[in-house]
Amino acid sequence: MIHKERIQQLNDEKIQNRSWVLYWMQSSQRTEYNHALEYAILRANELEKPVLVFFGLTQVPEAGERQYVFMLEGLKEVTRQLNQRGIQCVIQHTDPPSGAMELAQESCLVVVDRGYLRREREWRKKGAKGMDCPLIQVETNVIVPVEKASPKEEYSAATFRPKIMDQLEYYTAPLQTRTPRVQAEIDLPSLILDTGTMKEVLSLLSMDIPEQPSFYTGGTASARTRLNQFIHTSLDSYESLRNDPTVDYCSHMSPYLHFGQISPLYILLEILKTESPGKAPYIEQLVVRRELSMNFIHYNNHYDTMKGLPAWAQQTLGDHADDVRDYLYTRDQLEQAQTHDPYWNAAQTEMVQTGKMHGYMRMYWGKKILEWSETPAEAFNTAVALNNAYELDGRDANGYTGVAWCFGKHDRPWKERSIFGKVRYMNDSGLERKFDAQAYVEKVSQL
Could you tell me if residue 282 is inside a domain? Answer: yes
276 in a structural domain: yes
- Residue 64 included in any domain: yes
Whether 153 and 56 share a structural domain:
no
Q: How many whole angstroms separate alpha carbon 385 and alpha carbon 376? A: 14
Give the residue among 298, 268, 6 at the shortest CA–CA distance from 144.
6
Residues 108 and 13 occupy one common structural domain:
yes
Question: What confidence tier does 298 reach under pLDDT thresholds 50, 70, 90?
Answer: very high
- Residue 314 lies inside a defined structural domain of this protein: yes
Asked if pLDDT for residue 214 goes beyond 90, the answer is no
Using 50, 70 and 90 to split pLDDT, how confident is the model at 199? confident
In the chain, how many domains are there? 3
Domain that holds residue 249: 142-177+220-299
Residue 188 lies in a domain: no
- Asked if residue 199 belongs to a domain, the reply is no
The answer as to whether 4 is a domain residue is yes
Please report the pLDDT score of residue 435 as a whole number. 96
Shared domain for 400 and 436, answered yes or no, is yes
Question: Model confidence over 108-120: pLDDT tens digits?
Answer: 999 999 999 999 9
> What share of the chain in percent tops pLDDT 90?
89
CA distance linking residue 389 with residue 412, whole number of Å: 29
- 54: pLDDT strictly greater than 70: yes
Look up the CATH number of the domain holding residue 15. Answer: 3.40.50.620
Mean pLDDT value of segment 350-360 = 93
Residues 72-93 pLDDT 10s = 999 999 999 999 999 999 999 9
The domain that holds 160 is classified in CATH as 1.25.40.80
Q: Report the C-alpha gap between 206 and 210 in whole angstroms.
A: 11
Residue 194 has pLDDT above 80, yes or no: no
Domain match, 126 and 155 both: no
Of 264, 284, 299, which marks where a domain is finished?
299
Quick one: average pLDDT of 36-57?
97
Q: At 432, is the pLDDT very low, low, confident or very high (cuts 50, 70, 90)? A: very high
| For range 199-221, the mean pLDDT | 80
Can you tell me the distance from the alpha carbon of 110 to that of 104, in angstroms, rounded to the nearest whole number? 7
Residue 118 domain-assigned? yes
Burial of 273 (0-12, 13-18, 19+ CB in 10 A): exposed
**What CATH code is carried by the domain that includes residue 394?**
1.10.579.10
Find the mean pLDDT for residues 59-68.
83
Residue 203 confidence class, pLDDT cut points 50, 70, 90: confident
| Residue 242 and residue 158 in one domain | yes
